[in-house]
Structure 1
């Protein structure tokens, strides 16, 4: 077709009279000039609109439609944990019994486990990498982390399993091969020491900690037991060391956890409390049962009762028993200082849950923890209605020394936070229920798939909360152009390879901004929300990769968004749309040429103002950039144009707006 068109043009040129030829040539040159940037553009259409897919082909495990394939598999890890807390030495000691089911098609001769808290040992990779810093590296301090006593099979012989510890990983050599479809059960006797070197260490990343309060320490207990590494069809064994930024990748399974400690402590945890009558006073038990059906907060232990010895059972120790099914992790908290309030509310027509807030007296402030129940209720109801029903029977919000950290059914938020920051942290940490507690992505490699997705949802929830109480606080606290700085790593970069000062910008803010852009400008809210919900349903309690997400959105919306995923997520491309020519005329319609100066593209929105003052808004799809870096169009009115603006509402991330405006002299 193109050769035929060129031949026709040549024939016209040779048959026209000379004067007409000059007029035609002039018009041709004018049109030609409108389309060229004389080598200044960096844009290459084939980078963003390739014929061959940039995503790997679908297979029997992961379908090309972005869904789990017909042969998708994942292994299951079930835990029974019996531990005691030595609060004098800040030491957890006990046994974790693991029942591991090999659903993979491969027989296994060895297993891998995670010992993340070994990062607190003085010579760990995390310390040497600089994410965990010791103020005085020459001073001898007590290591945190795990000590393994032994590992034994749970069979008639109780044979020992040989193992080696490599920093934050542990390899178990099985005495017999674990075939596909088989289970193995083994017990690990271990101790775990809290990292409490307040004077000697300055931990930049802390996900387990102690908070000292006037009425006693608050233990935030996480990554506190040896956990199975994930074996999947993508990477095999996922054994990246824990360095700090990259969080966690875990199997789903069932938990039964028993925690013994002095009876003066209040304990809460991820799962359902099985024995309230054994660990609560008669009055607390009455209040606990009342709270399970109360839409208003009930104080199981009030601020006035914290110092009252009678607010705890009169026996040396209590064993708190919890159970949680189909979950990826388990965390708990304990303190003598806790005020404990609880209420219940529906998260769907069929389901009602219990929500608990535990905090010290210092945090009981009107613009802080006094609003915990309100924030928890709104967040879980909003996300349940918008995306997927909250999956657990209980939600626990705990005041801690952590700025914010999430676990299934339990979150740790800063005891000191107030105002907007307190709302933002509670909303964000609870939002992690959906990513990654339900949609179990690999946080060690793709932190943006939980942090960025979650912040995107948080921003939507904030607009809806209490008639916009917190609207006015910036969703992005830097200029949008800073999200595309040349120094930034691409979103898809491994978390531990991202400089510390870029983590929040890339993994949180840029991803949240881009998803909102895709939702509000490219696809439309209804279309995007249906696709995002479908992705959550498809991968609930499974392990998606970035490619699964990209393909899921593509297929649900019916769009090939390669240009978006490639430029915005896989690369750090920039957008710069420029007005290159406005051919104004008093008699003819004005021709306007727009050029892509950088490597990224977006749909084009142009506002035209005529001499009469009338305005015209033109929108063009992203497909105008499929084969060229320049696009020329004609205004609708045969009237002089006085002004042209690209993207007048500034909804797209153009990095140079100085070339977005034409103003007639």
Structure 2
């Protein structure tokens, strides 16, 4: 319908435009950037819908692994054969396959070393040459034969003799070995996710990124073949694992999957305790500290082969050591499922404020997150004391053997929390670490407040001041992990994301709406590969809100918030008139508290939409009285970078 605008109205509109322009010239704020008419996200499609769910045509390839591996703990050499069955569910035929060879980052000429992203503290030291030695790549089955391959840094390309059609599978085996990386903690490398911890009773091996792994082929970027440089983590396909690990019989092994042959690798005494632990509600010592140096606590033969199975997982890790104290306990989740928590550590770590509480922390974390968000998917959870500060894998985590007190709680809770992100929700950590670390820390912070009546403060021990998270020199949250300076990794990818999700939950949407939306996102994308757009769409549609202003300013950009007390008009006989200015590029809901001269107070809560039109907002108090004080955001709920202009005091 065409509406005729009177002439005087046109004049008024022109005056308002010029008036608004004068305000904008004094502010960085542009409403049209945060409240656009056109969508800022790419349109949905049959693979990924506009409502943030996997579409009817969503597809995902599958990688199943059967791996036979051996560890020589005298030479620290791992030798293995990985048989991979790869299923092509994509709509296209594949003439090549891509795999990740992360151990190649330890080669002295790797991109990780040359880019210096992987270097620890001494760039003048030339690291020992490491990485994979591939001894054979063969096709399985009746048409067995060698497969042609090319290795470039941490990637391997397999050339197929004929295309792998949609719905078809191919099996091939890769034989390999590598020298276990030297303990670089005090030498060359900062980031090492496979490591050796020397203890007085033997080395503890944290064995991860230890086999050739399929790259992800998805509908967003095709083959995801970003090189492993050290900082960025992983993006992996789901599948089933059968893993056979041969080690000297003096070693105890634990791994991601279920142990299939306990009677073959445990002594009768240890086997009885292990079986007891699977049903015990209290911790059971499968091997005690006193038994660590007792040869009779292990079978009397040269080697043992430990057999494990894990289904519908994106990775597999394991540990081995002669030095392990081994404790286990089982417990029920909210749905009645019984899970076993398994803890392994050296005698040096057996302390009351440290690893002796491992079973307690495992039980609480799994029960809390399962009931709050999504059921724990595995039959056990393994916590291993290692030389790593903390690293997560399906059903298994490595935590520092030296941590005590609050940080020990924080690391165990955090690493086990990674079960939900990225083990269940399989986002691309290589590019979007914040969808892994930040989401997890958000959940951790809630769990920490509820654990043992707030016994610990968790990662708040190392948090940066809130105002520093909105420093204009910081990169946006969506920055690739390998691009971030070291001092921005934790503040951006962890702390800022956790803070923003808590802000969205507690102040913008409310706990009920947010929790419902967050749980739906987890359910929809469990064992799938969401992108940031999928997450944004999912929360928008579940909550029924267009949060473009929030995602753009806080995640895609590094915008700041500065709400200013611009003007207060007050008298004893009229309602006060208050004007607030938005000076920076970000917008947030507005909370203003008025204190009148008679001591009464009132609080006004305005939605973010008050900033859709202009960089200023004017409203009247409800009482005809002079004001003594007016404060923006009196409870400090929002990330205003300049609190100095938030208060008006009457003279």
Task: Say if 2:226 is the partner of 1:240.
Answer: yes
* 1:501 and 2:487 correspond: yes
Counterpart contact for 1:35–1:632, Cα < 8 Å? no
| Mapped partners of 2:11, 2:133: distance in 1 | 87
State yes or no: 1:652 paired with 2:638.
yes
User: 1:354 aligns to what?
Assistant: 340
- Is the alpha carbon distance of 1:104 and 1:11 closer, same or farther for their aligned partners in structure 2, counting shifts above 3 Å? closer
**Aligned position for 2:31:** 45
Correspondent of 1:128 among 114, 117, 125: 114
For residues 535 and 122 of structure 2, what CA distance do their matches in structure 1 show? 44
- Of structures 1 and 2, the larger Rg is shown by 1
2:327 counterpart SS class: strand
1:416 aligns with 2:368: no
Q: Compute the displacement of 1:132 (Å).
A: 2.4
Q: String of CA shifts for 1:399-424, please: whole Å, max 9, x gaps.
A: 00000000000000000000000000
Paired residue for 1:480? 466
- How far apart are the structure 2 equivalents of 1:308 and 1:336? 10
Counterpart in the other structure of 1:293: 279
Q: Which residue of 1 aligns with 2:525?
A: 539
Q: Of 358, 364, 380, which residue of structure 2 is paired with 1:372?
A: 358
1:116 pairs with one of 95, 102, 124: 102
Q: 1:165 aligns with which of 125, 130, 151?
A: 151
Q: Cα 1:79–1:299, aligned 2, differ >3 Å: closer, same or farther? A: same
Paired residue for 1:65? 51
Shift of 1:584: 1.2
Report if the CA contact (8 A) 1:141-1:197 is conserved: no
**1:79-118 CA distance string (max 9 Å, x none):** 0000111111111112000000000000000000000111
Q: 1-side partners of 2:105 and 2:182: how far apart?
A: 13
Kept in 2: contact 1:34–1:581 (CA 8 A): no
Q: Quick check: 1:265 aligned with 2:251?
A: yes
User: Given the alignment of the two structures, is residue 662 of structure 1 paired with residue 648 of structure 2, yes or no?
Assistant: yes
The yes-or-no answer on 1:337 pairing with 2:332 is no
Deviation per residue, 1:306-357 (Å, 9 max, x gap): 0000000011100000000000000000000000000100113231111100
Maintained 8 Å contact 2:20/2:614? no
Which structure 2 residues correspond to residues 133-172 of structure 1 after superposition, within 5 A? Answer: 133=119, 142-172=128-158
Give the drift of 1:155: 2.0
Q: Residues 509-556 of structure 1: CA distance to partner in whole angstroms, max 9, x if unpaired?
A: 000000000000000011101100000000000000000000000000
Change (3 A) 1:170 1:287: same
Q: Does 1:598 align with 2:584?
A: yes
TM superposition shift of 1:370: 0.6
CA contact (8 A) 2:249 2:298 kept: yes
CA distance in 2 between partners of 1:79 and 1:210 (Å): 25
Flag structure 1 segments of 5+ consecutive residues without an equivalent.
Answer: 13-27
Structure 2: distance between partners of 1:358 and 1:655? 45
> Mean Cα displacement is larger for which, 613-622 or 191-200?
191-200
Q: Is the 1:215–1:336 contact (alpha carbons within 8 Å) kept by the matching residues of 2?
A: yes
- Displacement of 1:32 in angstroms is 10
- Aligned equivalents of 2:238, 2:10: Cα separation in 1: 69
- TM-score when normalising by structure 2: 0.97
Q: CA deviation at 1:31?
A: 14
d(CA) in 1 for partners of 2:18, 2:624: 21
Give me the whole-angstrom Cα distance separating, in 2, the residues matched to 1:249 and 1:243: 14
Task: Give distance in 1, aligned partners of 2:283 and 2:40.
Answer: 52
Residues 1:564 and 1:140: Cα distance change in structure 2 (over 3 Å): closer
Is 2:389 aligned against 1:395?
Answer: no
C-alpha displacement of 1:36 = 6.0
Q: Distance in 2 between matches of 1:169 and 1:6?
A: 69
> Equivalent residue for 1:25?
none
CA RMSD for the aligned pairs?
Answer: 2.1
Quick one: structure 1 residues 199 and 468, their matched pair in 2 at CA, closer, same or farther if it must change by over 3 Å?
closer
Q: Figure out how many residues of one structure are paired with residues of the other and give that number.
A: 650
SS of 2:48's equivalent in the other structure is coil
Does residue 510 in structure 1 map to residue 499 in structure 2? Answer: no
- Is the Cα–Cα contact under 8 Å of residues 100 and 214 in structure 2 kept in the other structure? yes
How far did residue 157 of structure 1 move? 3.5
Q: TM-score, normalised by structure 1?
A: 0.95
Following TM superposition, by how much is the alpha carbon of 1:194 offset from its aligned partner in structure 2, in angstroms? 1.1
TM-superposed deviation, 1:473:
7.1
**Partner residue, 2:175:** 189
- Give yes or no for contact 2:120–2:191 (8 Å, CA) kept in 1: no
Q: Provide the secondary structure at the position in 1 that maps to 2:26.
A: coil
1:479 CA displacement: 1.7
How many Å separate the matches in 2 of 1:165 and 1:387? 41
